[in-house]
Amino acid sequence: MLLSNLNLLATAPGGMARLRELILTLAVQGKLVPQDPQDEPAGELLKKIRAEKDRLIAEGKIKRDKPLAEIAEEEKPFELPLGWNWVRLAEVAFPQAGFAFKSGGFNEVRQGLPLIRIRDVGESDPSTFFSSEYREEFVVESGDWLISMDGEFRVREWLGPKALLNQRVTRLIFFGEDVFRPFVTAALQFKLSELQGTKAYTTVDHLSGGQIALSVIALPPLAEQSRIVTRVEELMRLCDALEAKGQLAATQHAQLVSTLLATLTDSETPAQLAENWHRIATHFDLLLDRPEAVDALEQTILQLAVRGLLVPQDPQDEPASELLKKIRAEKDKLIAEGKIKRDKPLPPIAEDEQPFALPSGWEWTQTGYLVNDSEAGWSPTCIGSPRRSGHWGVLKVSAVSWGAFDANANKELPADLTPRPEYEVQGGDFLLSRANTEELVARSVVVGTAEPKLMLSDKIIRLEVSSLTNRDFLNLCNNANHARVHYIANASGTSSSMKNVSREVVLRTPVPLPPLAEQSRIVTRVAQLRRLCADLRQRLAASQSTQAHLAEALVQEVALEPQKAV
């Protein structure tokens, strides 16, 4: 049943994770390989383990343990196969907690022994070393099994060099060789995964030593443990191959979508666009079968819009050259009235600097020519959570980063600070982030209906767009590819995770400007096509949900099958 439906499981949303989880479930329940009545039962194995444990206690190598609580019926989630026994982990291994080494001995120049921290469990090359004195009992050797006790509860074999066991990492000290460690650790991983989401005194998932020691696992005969682990490894390699195949297919699909959609943006005339569109439209059912392909189509629509290929030109429209004269006159009038400051002249866009050719009636200009003023907000030290109802809040850059204004992306202004109403967000505001990742810096939005008592931060710029410019069209231009090229080339900051753009860089952004009436037509058409893209995403989500339900039903069916080899 499992192998015959691998493709359904592997291609469902989250399917690979569910498939791996199912394999582990079947393994620890004894449904992955056939039982052999000739195997020595686990009860005899436990006697040998107990004898070895008593020997280690007598030699003073481990402390005498307290009697373990009897395993209650509610701790036995399934019926055991013949020859298996329920055990607590403390019956087969001692969980040794790490030591809180003093940070004064830490270094990153590879002096002393590597220090295994939580993040290093499952890795073999820690970046932190410890060069002060330490106790030998906390030395970890290759082949030891470790558990990370915060965040993601991972049980992994240490394959690195001799190292030190840091706090919040536990080592399992097995009692002798009469247990197959990879099976016990796999069963423990399955059990600890059920505890994921536990939070004690920390803000992250936290695991205690007692939870590890008292964990209940099903123990098969020693020979069967080995057979199960071999089978799990075979199936996990198959999962790896399926996952790699899926990633390859996804990469190839993305390349195909990118190549075909590029033929649209490479069109130089509406006639060429219509011809190229017809060529690929007949294959949309194959191309647009995943959300990332719809995202690529939406970005292509944006590129067509700002290049003048999305709506027909009207020769009766007043050309953009005349519109720019009117915008300049409006600005000069506001300057003369003292309502805005005189702007600095911007360097013209040379012909060889123009990103692409424009239709008749369009002009290359810069954002600075289309806005009358700009301002940044205020960034006081705020409460870390979003503001409560009726309270003032300060926007985070994520409020303007994702294509639509998000009023919920804010932090509450403390009660002891006085709000600054001049920075309050208003409906129709054109907002742009001046600091973010390389991908998101200078992304912009136009605010629809504004909620009261939300202020700009100093990392968000508000542009006062000329009344003779469609601010929604300017927003399309600011988020288009040619603008991204401009911002990436001119952003400051050495790390791609935090880039900054100055107000001058924003004002120098190239803008392909059409007649005012055409701006409005383009904005309307883009909104229509984006609604179609949103509808397509919903249809894909519904289809994926159906596939996920089918995969989930299959998982349940396989997990509930009578015991037999898969």
Q: What is the pLDDT of residue 469?
A: 98
pLDDT in tens, 108-120: 888 999 999 988 8
Q: What is the pLDDT of residue 339?
A: 94
User: In this structure, what CATH number is given to the domain that contains residue 104?
Assistant: 3.90.220.20
Percent of the chain whose pLDDT exceeds 90: 60
Residue 13: pLDDT above 90? no
194 and 128 in one domain? yes
418 and 302 in one domain? no
pTM for the whole structure: 0.63
Greater model confidence, 384 or 525: 525
pLDDT in tens, 490-523: 999 877 778 999 999 999 999 999 999 999 999 9
**Averaged pLDDT, 201-208:** 63
pLDDT in tens, 73-115: 999 999 999 999 999 999 999 999 999 998 888 888 889 999 9
The answer to whether residues 392 and 413 touch, using CB atoms and an 8 Å cutoff, is yes
Does residue 377 sit within a domain? Answer: yes
212 and 284 in one domain? no
121 and 55 in one domain? yes
Does residue 560 sit within a domain? Answer: no
The answer to whether residues 404 and 443 touch, using CB atoms and an 8 Å cutoff, is no
pLDDT bucket at 565, cuts 50 / 70 / 90: very low
303 and 281 in one domain? yes
Count of alpha carbons within 13 angstroms of residue 400, beta-carbon side: 32
Residue 367: pLDDT above 70? yes
* Least confident segment among 23-27, 340-344, 461-465: 23-27
What separation in angstroms does the CA of 4 have from each of 1, 232, 543, 554, 558?
5, 17, 22, 11, 11
Q: What is the pLDDT of residue 305?
A: 95
End position of a domain, from candidates 158, 188, 220: 220
Residue 4: pLDDT above 60? no
The answer to whether residues 516 and 472 touch, using CB atoms and an 8 Å cutoff, is no
Does residue 277 sit within a domain? Answer: yes
536 and 486 in one domain? no
Percent of the chain whose pLDDT exceeds 70: 91
Beta bridge partners of 433: 460
pLDDT bucket at 545, cuts 50 / 70 / 90: low
Q: What is the pLDDT of residue 26?
A: 82
Residue 557: pLDDT above 80? no
The one-letter amino acid at 281: A
Does residue 302 sit within a domain? Answer: yes
Domain count, the chain: 3
Does residue 33 sit within a domain? Answer: no
As a whole number, the mean pLDDT across the chain is 88
Residue 206: pLDDT above 90? no
Does residue 520 sit within a domain? Answer: no
Secondary structure tally for the chain: helices H, strands E:
15, 22
Q: At what angle do helices 471-478 and 516-559 cross, to 10 degrees?
A: 60
**Averaged pLDDT, 46-69:** 86
356 and 282 in one domain? no
- Alpha-carbon gap, residue 267 to 189, rounded angstroms: 55
399 and 261 in one domain? no
pLDDT bucket at 245, cuts 50 / 70 / 90: confident
Residue 549: pLDDT above 70? no
Greater model confidence, 179 or 225: 225
Q: What is the pLDDT of residue 14?
A: 64
**Averaged pLDDT, 359-370:** 96
Q: What is the pLDDT of residue 273?
A: 87
**Averaged pLDDT, 422-434:** 97
DSSP helix, strand, coil percent of the chain (3-state; round to 5): 45, 15, 40
Residue 366: pLDDT above 80? yes
Q: At what angle do helices 481-490 and 291-306 cross, to 10 degrees?
A: 90
* Least confident segment among 209-213, 440-444, 515-519: 209-213
- Nearest-5° angle of CA 530, CA 534, CA 537? 135
Q: What is the pLDDT of residue 540?
A: 81
Q: Are strands 163-165 and 113-116 parallel, antiparallel or unpaired?
A: parallel
Range of the domain at 91: 40-220
The C-alpha R_g of the chain, in whole angstroms, comes to: 32
83 and 165 in one domain? yes
285 and 338 in one domain? no
Does residue 15 sit within a domain? Answer: no
473 and 388 in one domain? yes
pLDDT in tens, 270-313: 888 888 887 777 777 777 878 888 899 999 999 999 999 999 99
Does residue 447 sit within a domain? Answer: yes
- Alpha-carbon gap, residue 451 to 458, rounded angstroms: 19
Residue 538: pLDDT above 60? yes
202 and 330 in one domain? no
